[in-house]
Chains A and B, each alone.
Chain A
Amino acid sequence: GENVEQHPSTLSVQEGDSAVIKCTYSDSASNYFPWYKQELGKRPQLIIDIRSNVGEKKDQRIAVTLNKTAKHFSLHITETQPEDSAVYFCAATDSNYQLIWGAGTKLIIKP
């Protein structure tokens, strides 16, 4: 079955700098890769997603890249702001559209 690994587990960056979170997956049949942001005590919120027929997608300060050959995908946040502080999860769908999640990255934005 699908396995998703996520790094780093904690990332601390200066406000205004960029943050990059990386994930790898094992099932070459996976074709959908969402990223969720979860603030303390709240539900995961979809922030961006990418499908396997696309290599890169951008939405304002957030971008995701996908390398199908290497089976890895990354989240890029530019010009980080205090409200970006949260736990970020990557995920990949298996053949039954079931989400397999990474372990999460705690992003800390230092003022």
Chain B
Amino acid sequence: ETGVTQSPTHLIKTRGQQVTLRCSSQSGHNTVSWYQQALGQGPQFIFQYYREEENGRGNFPPRFSGLQFPNYSSELNVNALELDDSALYLCASSQQGADTQYFGPGTRLTVL
């Protein structure tokens, strides 16, 4: 197992609500990337954080936002939830400039 942790493990929300997901990176890693994995599909890159700033973004609307804290942990915030936001949300940590990413166990979000 990696040293990357995520909370909560499962979450149920209704349309229009807001959600915050959390990720703690592996010791020594300063970069966190977030991915959305819909059922039966590969992960889709949402964004990456390095030194508390967004360092690249995939094709996701602005209602997906994030934060990184001085201890390198990170949050993913999603506003105005839609049914299609139901997915497994994965975070991965790495060292900036290094390519290997290690994944947390994910948060399963269900939007009703």
Contact = CB atoms under 8 A, between A and B. Distances in A.
Interface of A: 6, 31-32, 34, 36, 42-46, 49, 51, 89, 93, 96-104
Interface of B: 2, 31, 33, 35, 40-45, 48, 55-56, 58, 90, 92, 94, 96-106
Contacts of A6: 42
Nearest to B98: A97
A42 B105 contact: yes
Given A98-B33, A101-B43, A102-B42, A46 B100 contact: yes
B55 A89 contact: no
A99 B90 contact: no
Contacts of A103: 41-42
Choose among B2, B97, B99 the residue with the greatest number of A CB atoms under 10 Å from its CB: B99
Nearest to A93: B99
B41 A98 contact: no
Interface on chain A toward B: helix, strand, loop, or mixed SS? strand
A45 B2 CA distance: 9
A99 B45 contact: yes
A31 B97 CA distance: 12
Contacts of B100: 32, 34, 46, 49
Contacts of B31: 97
A44 B94 contact: no
28 contacts: A32-B99, A34-B101, A43-B2, A43-B90, A43-B103, A44-B103, A46-B100, A46-B101, A49-B99, A49-B100, A51-B99, A89-B42, A93-B99, A96-B48, A96-B56, A97-B31, A97-B98, A98-B45, A98-B56, A98-B58, A99-B101, A100-B45, A101-B42, A101-B43, A101-B44, A101-B45, A103-B41, A104-B40
A4 B107 CA distance: 25
Nearest to B4: A43
B106 A97 contact: no
